[in-house]
Amino acid sequence: MSESKLAGQFFDAAIGLLERVRDEEAVGIAEAGTLVADAVAAGNRLFAFGAGHSSLPAQDVVYRAGGLALMNFLAVPGTAGVDVMPATLGSALERVDGLAGAVLDSSPASDGDVLVIISLSGRNALPVEMAMNARALGLKVIGVTSVAYATGTRSRHVSGTFLKDHCDVVLDSKIAVGDAELTLDGIDAPFAPASTVVTSAIMQAVMATAAGELAARGLEPPLLRSGNVDGGHEWNGRVMQEYGDRIFFRH
């Protein structure tokens, strides 16, 4: 089989997943967008969290041209992507009890804020405890996860629960257990993960919904413009000044 054939199969798989999410998660995405819009309108703050590769879709909506300026990345040291050495340490930290609570307690997140938690499996201690602790503090929690893991794997949290069990809104990415879309004779392991593509699309869909909801209420969404277009820096400066008390990634 040619490499171009495999590329086409991956695109087909990713498009199929995106179509499923579009059709099957429309209600949840609308609910999540409304929660975000409610927080913006009420003067509250927005946060996104993800560990390992699940941090990528979270980071994708922070300080993003065309995105909401109020979305802040809730960083847990050593878990944001693969910037820690060795990279396997990040995976180990996801299983450490108590880390989520310590991070939340030292963060500006508080009652009425919204936290989006992204975890493909939703089975590790860090995302489960992050959701549990956030709701205890009065935050609204949106979970972006693959619900299939809740039946295809065991929880690694002492409670035996998954991220999906501790959210106000759950958005199912539809990713199969193992996160690999292709197989081929002669290659022993499945390959070509699509979770980042799909989860990033979910995040942008929620942000778009929130922007539309704010506009429908007669409120200007606090959006950022590209700094590479004329007037972009001036626009962003105005937004940063107006909403500076809720934008933490610039401090």
Instruction: Express each pLDDT in 175-213 by its tens digit.
Output: 999 999 999 999 999 999 999 999 999 999 999 999 999
Tell me which residue of 132, 138, 139 sits closest to 160, measured CA to CA.
Answer: 132
Q: Look up residue 116 and give its two tokens.
A: 């989006």
pLDDT score, position 92: 64
Instruction: Express each pLDDT in 11-26 by its tens digit.
Output: 999 999 999 999 999 9
Region 121-149: what's the mean pLDDT?
Answer: 95
pLDDT score, position 95: 63
Q: Look up residue 68 and give its two tokens.
A: 């909401």
User: With 90 as the cut, is the pLDDT of residue 75 above it?
Assistant: no
Helices 3-24 and 26-41: crossing angle in degrees, nearest 10, is 70
Helices 26-41 and 195-216: crossing angle in degrees, nearest 10, is 50
pLDDT score, position 117: 97
What is the SS3 string spanning 170-218?
EEECCCCCCCCCEEECCEEEEECCCHHHHHHHHHHHHHHHHHHHHHHCC
Q: How many Å apart are CA 221 and CA 208, to the nearest integer? A: 10
With cut-offs at 50, 70 and 90, classify the pLDDT of residue 101: confident
What burial letters (b/e) apply to 99-138, b meaning 16+ CB within 10 Å? bbbebbeebebeeebbbbbbbbbbbbbbbbbbbbbbeebe
pLDDT score, position 158: 84
Of the listed ranges 16-20, 85-89, 220-224, 237-241, the one predicted with least confidence: 85-89
- Contact (Cβ atoms closer than 8 angstroms) between residue 109 and residue 140: no
Give pTM, 2 decimals. 0.92
Q: Given strand 140-145, what is the order of strands in its sheet?
A: 71-73, 46-50, 114-118, 140-145, 169-172
State the chain's mean pLDDT as an integer. Answer: 92
With cut-offs at 50, 70 and 90, classify the pLDDT of residue 80: confident
Q: Catalogue the E-assigned strands of 10-146.
A: 46-50, 71-73, 114-118, 140-145
Q: Look up residue 70 and give its two tokens.
A: 């109020």
User: Which residues, listed in sequence order, are joined to residue 72 by a DSSP beta bridge?
Assistant: 47
Of the listed ranges 92-96, 142-146, 191-195, the one predicted with least confidence: 92-96
All residues at 6 or more sequence positions from 11 whose CB lies less than 8 Å from its CB, including other chains = none
β 187-191/114-118 pair status: unpaired
With cut-offs at 50, 70 and 90, classify the pLDDT of residue 76: confident
Higher per-residue confidence, 90 vs 46: 46
Per DSSP, the three-state class of 84 is coil
Q: How many Å apart are CA 237 and CA 6, to the nearest integer? A: 45
Instruction: Express each pLDDT in 114-130 by its tens digit.
Output: 999 999 999 998 999 99
User: With 60 as the cut, is the pLDDT of residue 1 above it?
Assistant: no
pLDDT score, position 135: 96
